[in-house]
Structure 1
Amino acid sequence: MLLTDKIFAITGGASGIGRAAALEAARHGADIAITDIAPVEAAAPLLREIESLGRRALYVQGDVSKPETAGAFMAAIKEELGGLDVFVSNAGICPFHGFLDLPKEILTKTVEVNLLGAFYMVQAAARMMVDEGRGGSIIAVSSISALVGGEFQTHYTPTKAGVLSLMQSTAIALGRHDIRCNAILPGTIRTAINHDDLSDPTKAEAMMARIPLGRFGEAEDLAGPIVFLGSSMASYITGASLLVDGGCFVNLQ
C-alpha cells in the first residue's frame, strides 16, 4: 500500500496506460481523479471499479490542449477530494504520418496535446501543490521516442523530448517546495495509439526481435513504475527518467 490516503490525479486516464495507472494507484490506497476527452459514460465502469476498491473516484471530461481544462480539473480535485499528492501527465496522441507531406494541422494538434497540454497541466498541479505546502510528486509519461527517431513520428518525437525536458527543468524549479518531478519513457506498449501500426505482422515481428524480454509491453507494465515514483519509496528521486521498454533501447548489437 504505497499510496495510502494519497490523492492521485492523471490525464488521459480513461484508457490505456492512464487507466492501468489509475487502478494500480487505487489498489495502493489512493483516491483517484481522472481527466480525459472521453465522455463521462465511457469512464463510468472505471470509476465503479475504483470505488469497488474502497477509494473515491472523480472524473472531469476535458481536452488538455485547452489551458482552461487544467484549471477546471484542479478546482474539481480541490473541491471534491481536498488536495493533490501525485499528479501524472499522461494524455497524448501519435497520429503516424510521413515527414515530407505532414499537414500543418497534424503537427499543431500533436504539439498542442502532447507538449502544451503537459505544460498547462503540470503547471496547474504544481501551483496547487505549492499552495497546499505539503510537497508532492509529478510524473510525466514521455516516451522512448524522446531518445530515438521515428520515420513516421517526426512531429511526435520532439514533443516527447520536450516532455522529458519539462520534467528535468521543473525538478529544479520545484525542488525547494519538496515537489519531485520525473519522467517515464515507455517503449512499445500495446494500446489503442499503436494498434494499427502493430497490426502489420512483418513490422511487429521485426520490432519485437529488438526487445530482449521478447514481448511488447502492456499498459499494466507502466502502472507499477508510476506508483513507485509517486510513493515515498522514491523520495530522493527527482529529475530522473525511467525507461520501461523491455530493454529495447540498449539492444544495439
Structure 2
Amino acid sequence: MLLKDKVVIVTGASRGIGRAIAVTAAREGADVVLNYWGDNDATYNRRPAIREVLDNIASLGRRAIAVEGNVAERDTGAALVKAAVDAFGRVDVLASNAGICPFHAFLDMPPEVFETTMAVNLHGAFYVTQAAANQMKAQGTGGAIVATSSISALVGGGMQTHYTPTKAGVHSLMQSCAIALGPYGIRCNSVMPGTIATDLNAEDLSDTAKKAYFEKRIPLGRLGEPEDVAECVVFLASDRARYVTGAALLVDGGMFVNLQ
C-alpha cells in the first residue's frame, strides 16, 4: 500500500496512462480526484469512460470523484485542488498526465494545432502544478508531483514538431520545480514513456509494419502497457522515493538507448 490514505489528483484520467495511474494509485491505498475533458469530441465521449474508472476505484474500496475541466484553462488547476480539499481534506500527490498528440506534418501545420497542443500539454501542466504546489505548501507536510513527459522529450519526430517541445518542457518544468519547491518538502519528478499502446496512438500503430518496427527497436521486445507507466508513477509519488526529486525516469523498455 504505497499510497495508503494519500489524496491523489490525476489529470487526463479517463483513458490510457491516466486511467492506469488512477486505478493503480487506488489499489495502493489512495483516494483519487479524476480530471477529464473532451465530452464534446464526437469521436470519444469520456463520461462513460470516467464512470468506469470511478466504478473500478470503488471496487477497490477507495473513494474517488470526477471533475470535468480542460487543464489548458487557467482556472482548472485551482478547481481540481478545491474539489480535492472539499472532498478529502487535502492534496498529497499530483499526477500531471493530461496530454494530446494530434500527429501532423510540420510545413503545413495549422497554427491552432500547435497552439492547442502547447496549451494542453505544457501550459496545462504548469497551471495544475502551480495550484497543487500552493496547496501542498499551505498544508506544510510536503507532497509529490509526477508529470508525464515522454521519450519524445529526448528524440525528434517528423510528425511531432508541435508535441516534442511540450514534452521537453514538461521534463524541464519538473526539474525547475524540484528546485523551487524542495524547501517545502515537495518532490517533483517526471516519467518518460516510450511507445505505449493507448488510444492516443492506436491509429498510428494500426500500421502493422510500423508496430513491428517499434517492437524490433525495443530491447524488451514489446510495446508498453499503461500499467507499466502507472507503477513507476506510483513509486515516484510514494515515500519509497522520498529522496528522489528532479529525476526523469525512462519507461520505454530500453527503446531510447537502442535508438542511440
Using the size of structure 1 for normalisation, the TM-score is 0.98
The question of whether the paired residues in 2 share the 8 Å contact of 1:97 and 1:153 is answered with yes
Kindly state the Cα deviation for residue 68 of structure 1 after the two structures are TM-superposed.
1.1
Matches within 5 A, 1:92-241: 92-241=99-248
* Cα distance between partner residues in 1 of 2:98 and 2:60: 24
Once residues 93 and 3 of structure 2 are traced to their aligned partners in structure 1, the CA distance between those partners, rounded to angstroms, is 9
Measure the CA separation in 2 of the matches of 1:138 and 1:235: 12
- What SS class does the counterpart of residue 251 from structure 1 fall into? helix
Please state how far the C-alpha of 1:221 moved relative to its aligned partner.
0.6
> For structure 2, which runs of at least 5 residues remain unmatched after alignment?
40-45
Alpha-carbon deviations, 1:53-73, whole Å to 9, x = none? 111101101100001111111
Distance 2:139 2:77 in 1: 17
Deviation of 1:252 (Å): 3.8
* Secondary structure class of the residue paired with 1:84: coil
Q: Which amino acid aligns with 1:19?
A: R
Rounded Cα–Cα distance in structure 2 between residues aligned with 1:210 and 1:151: 18
What's the CA shift for 1:40? 4.0
- The residue type equivalent to 2:65 in the other structure is L
Distance in 1 of aligned mates of 2:57 and 2:209: 38
**Among candidates 86, 89, 94, match of residue 93 of structure 2:** 86
Amino acid at match of 2:142: G
Q: Which secondary structure does the structure 1 equivalent of 2:162 belong to? A: coil
Report if the CA contact (8 A) 1:40-1:61 is conserved: no
Correspondences of 1:8-87 after superposition (within 5 Å): 8-37=8-37, 38=39, 39-87=46-94
Provide the rounded CA distance (Å) in 2 between the counterparts of 1:252 and 1:173: 33
Runs of 4 or more, structure 1, over 3 Å off, are 38-42
The answer to whether the 8 A contact 2:187-2:245 is kept is: yes
1:130 & 1:169 partners in 2: Cα distance? 16
Measure how far apart 1:202 and its partner are: 1.2
One-letter code of the match for 1:23?
V
Q: Give the AA of the match of 2:253.
A: G
Instruction: Please give the alpha-carbon distance, in whole angstroms, between the structure 2 residues aligned to 1:164 and 1:138.
Output: 12
Provide the rounded CA distance (Å) in 2 between the counterparts of 1:48 and 1:207. 34
Question: Could you say what the CA RMSD is over the residues aligned between the two structures, in angstroms?
Answer: 1.0
* Distance of 1:94 and 1:48 partners within structure 2: 28
